[in-house]
Copies of this chain bind each other. A is one copy, B any other.
Amino acid sequence: MAPNSAFAKLAELGKKLEALEHAQSMLSVDEAVMMPSGGGEKRADAMSMLAGMYHEMATAPEVGDWLAAAAEEPLDDMQQAAIREQARVYTNMTCLSADFVRRQVSARVRSEQLWRELRAKDDWAGFLPAFEGIVAIAREEAGLRSAALGLEPYDAMMEQYDPGNRAADIAPVFARLKTFLKDFIPAVVDRQAAERAKRPVKPLNAPFPIDKQKALGLAVMEAIGFDFEHGRLDVSHHPFCGGVPTDVRMTTRYTTGDFLSSLMGIIHETGHGLYEQGLPKEWSNFAIGRARGMSIHESQSLFMEKQIGRSAEFWEWAMPLVGQHLGPAAIAGWDIEDMLTHVHEVRTGLIRVDADEATYPLHVILRFEIEKGLIDGSIAPKDVPGEWNARMSEYLGLTTLDNYKDGPMQDVHWPSGAFGYFPSYTLGAMIAAQLWASLEKDHPSARDDVRAGRFVEINNWRRDKIWSQASRYSTPELLVKATGEKLNAQYFEDHLKRRYLA
């Protein structure tokens, strides 16, 4: 590579951007884990200035020139792919005018603040004007993105989170899954009720001291492959996985009354952490070296939590570990079935973030259908509560009539202007199931590995198929490369049937 080539200039710029991102990531972690409250104002100022510097450097006009010039330079396949991905990111970052972004930020801040205040009061009517404003801005954004990318407006919004995701591909898969779940969920709920009548649920023998829960969590993280030379576990109010690939900062929160909630959260975040730790180091200063997007990231955490962490095989290995760290009294006299009763409970409810893996997709599909309608104009903001209630009644048999805070006002996504994000959650869950099925085809002994607490082969397969691929392919392409076929709801349905109705 010639030192004055456009590619070399992009690589050098990438190092600066990587350093700024490093600072932003670590400052965010510090804010959640360490910062005293009085440090918040200056921290916000610093974060905003760093974000401004980042945006200015990443979207400078000469970067566009370098990208065009690099495309003409003699590059190998990987370098060409790196330039294509970098150009895609550049287009996504530059397709909104500075003036539009200013209007958007101001509308979002106002709408999110209002939402926080009015959600607590269940005041939809008071929130509606701001919501109409934010939907209008989102439609304008979708139009601008659509024009720049040559995509349908809603697809152009999803493109920010999952490159290559198209509503035309997703809608039929979601429709099929919806049909399946509408019958599946009542069957599971009935069956679990019958089982509970025969065999009462054993309560957790709380309290569980926090230092012991922490030791248990660390032992599980270590066993499933988290590299503590390049990461750590701390405590924050909202658990997350942050930091940088060489220094992954995970958090959890503990309650002494229940060790399962923290432990399952740790397993989930470890899934994110393993993905970050497995990214190719040599491309860290290019977009192509980053994690692929929200669906794939979520697939990695759900693979760890749902496919593995809630499986019977996992608990064959993990139950002795629980006794070892929390003391024999913690789950004295439990067998696997007692534990599975806890981690497999299916229950319909109004709140997405509290949902189990069987009901969760219906929350997402409902939002996908409504937000697609909001962006294409077929649903008006004022009609959202009605649309919501109709779907909630049909999909989960629950009503949100006159209950806005547990209906369309429950999530921060729309009030903060994030349209096109919701599908990623359920796509991630489906991709996780499809990856597991594919892994089991390649490694028929995968379940035995889990039973024995052996995760090396499983992680090697994931590293090969997903982690090391970073952003080389679009989301759908990556799935095809990894599993040999495009998104197929069958795998997720089979997973659910095996776990809940076998």
The answer to whether A247 and B39 have CB atoms under 8 Å apart is: yes
With a cutoff of 8 Å between Cβ atoms, the chain B residues found around residue A84 in the complex are none
What's the least CB distance linking A149 to chain B, in Å?
Answer: 31
Q: Is A219 in contact with chain B by the CB < 8 A criterion?
A: no
With a cutoff of 8 Å between Cβ atoms, the chain B residues found around residue A227 in the complex are 38
- In the complex, A46 Cα to B37 Cα: how many Å? 26
Q: Give the contacting residue for A43; candidates B35, B42, B247; CB below 8 A.
A: B247
The answer to whether A23 and B35 have CB atoms under 8 Å apart is: no
- In the complex, A27 Cα to B37 Cα: how many Å? 18
The answer to whether A36 and B229 have CB atoms under 8 Å apart is: yes
- In the complex, A358 Cα to B18 Cα: how many Å? 49
Q: Is A322 in contact with chain B by the CB < 8 A criterion?
A: no
Q: Give the contacting residue for A244; candidates B42, B48, B246; CB below 8 A.
A: B42
- In the complex, A244 Cα to B36 Cα: how many Å? 12
With a cutoff of 8 Å between Cβ atoms, the chain B residues found around residue A48 in the complex are 19
- Contact flags A36-63 to B (C-beta < 8 A → 1, else 0): 1111011101111110010000000000
What's the least CB distance linking A285 to chain B, in Å?
Answer: 9
- In the complex, A53 Cα to B56 Cα: how many Å? 13
- In the complex, A23 Cα to B51 Cα: how many Å? 12
Q: Is A182 in contact with chain B by the CB < 8 A criterion?
A: no
- In the complex, A231 Cα to B243 Cα: how many Å? 22
The answer to whether A232 and B18 have CB atoms under 8 Å apart is: no
Interface residues of A, count at CB 8 A: 38
With a cutoff of 8 Å between Cβ atoms, the chain B residues found around residue A95 in the complex are none
Q: Is A30 in contact with chain B by the CB < 8 A criterion?
A: yes
List CB contacts (< 8 Å) of A189-235 with chain B: 227-232, 234
- In the complex, A246 Cα to B36 Cα: how many Å? 9
With a cutoff of 8 Å between Cβ atoms, the chain B residues found around residue A47 in the complex are 19
What's the least CB distance linking A16 to chain B, in Å?
Answer: 6
What's the least CB distance linking A249 to chain B, in Å?
Answer: 8
Assuming the contacts A38-B247, A42-B246, A230-B36, asked whether A23 and B15 have C-beta atoms less than 8 A apart, the reply is no
What's the least CB distance linking A47 to chain B, in Å?
Answer: 8
What's the least CB distance linking A51 to chain B, in Å?
Answer: 9
The answer to whether A15 and B45 have CB atoms under 8 Å apart is: yes
- Contact flags A12-25 to B (C-beta < 8 A → 1, else 0): 00011011101100
The answer to whether A49 and B247 have CB atoms under 8 Å apart is: no
- In the complex, A65 Cα to B23 Cα: how many Å? 30
Q: Give the contacting residue for A246; candidates B23, B41, B231, B234; CB below 8 A.
A: B41
With a cutoff of 8 Å between Cβ atoms, the chain B residues found around residue A45 in the complex are 15, 18-19
List CB contacts (< 8 Å) of A422-447 with chain B: none
Q: Is A125 in contact with chain B by the CB < 8 A criterion?
A: no
The answer to whether A16 and B49 have CB atoms under 8 Å apart is: yes
Q: Is A130 in contact with chain B by the CB < 8 A criterion?
A: no
With a cutoff of 8 Å between Cβ atoms, the chain B residues found around residue A308 in the complex are none
- In the complex, A41 Cα to B230 Cα: how many Å? 11
Q: Give the contacting residue for A46; candidates B23, B42, B232; CB below 8 A.
A: B23
Q: Give the contacting residue for A18; candidates B46, B244, B284; CB below 8 A.
A: B46
Q: Give the contacting residue for A229; candidates B19, B38, B50, B284; CB below 8 A.
A: B38
Q: Is A336 in contact with chain B by the CB < 8 A criterion?
A: no
The answer to whether B46 and A19 have CB atoms under 8 Å apart is: yes
Q: Is A401 in contact with chain B by the CB < 8 A criterion?
A: no
Assuming the contacts A22-B46, A23-B23, A26-B30, asked whether A37 and B246 have C-beta atoms less than 8 A apart, the reply is no
With a cutoff of 8 Å between Cβ atoms, the chain B residues found around residue A38 in the complex are 227, 229-230, 246-247
What's the least CB distance linking A242 to chain B, in Å?
Answer: 12
For A16, the closest partner residue in chain B by CB is: B49
The answer to whether B36 and A232 have CB atoms under 8 Å apart is: yes
- Contact flags A464-481 to B (C-beta < 8 A → 1, else 0): 000000000000000000
What's the least CB distance linking A311 to chain B, in Å?
Answer: 30
Q: Is A171 in contact with chain B by the CB < 8 A criterion?
A: no
The answer to whether A231 and B36 have CB atoms under 8 Å apart is: yes
Q: Is A34 in contact with chain B by the CB < 8 A criterion?
A: yes
With a cutoff of 8 Å between Cβ atoms, the chain B residues found around residue A42 in the complex are 22, 244, 246-247, 284
Q: Give the contacting residue for A16; candidates B16, B18, B36, B53; CB below 8 A.
A: B53
- In the complex, A386 Cα to B82 Cα: how many Å? 60
- In the complex, A41 Cα to B19 Cα: how many Å? 12
Listed by A's residue number, 8 A-B pairs whose Cβ atoms lie within 8 Å are A16-B53, A18-B45, A19-B53, A36-B232, A38-B229, A42-B246, A42-B284, A53-B53
Report A's interface with B, CB cutoff 8 A: 15-16, 18-20, 22-23, 26-27, 30, 34-39, 41-43, 45-50, 53, 227-232, 234, 243-244, 246-247, 284
Sample of 12 further A-B pairs with CB below 8 A, known A23-B27, A36-B230, A42-B246: A15-B45, A18-B45, A19-B53, A20-B50, A26-B27, A36-B228, A38-B227, A38-B246, A39-B231, A39-B246, A42-B244, A42-B247
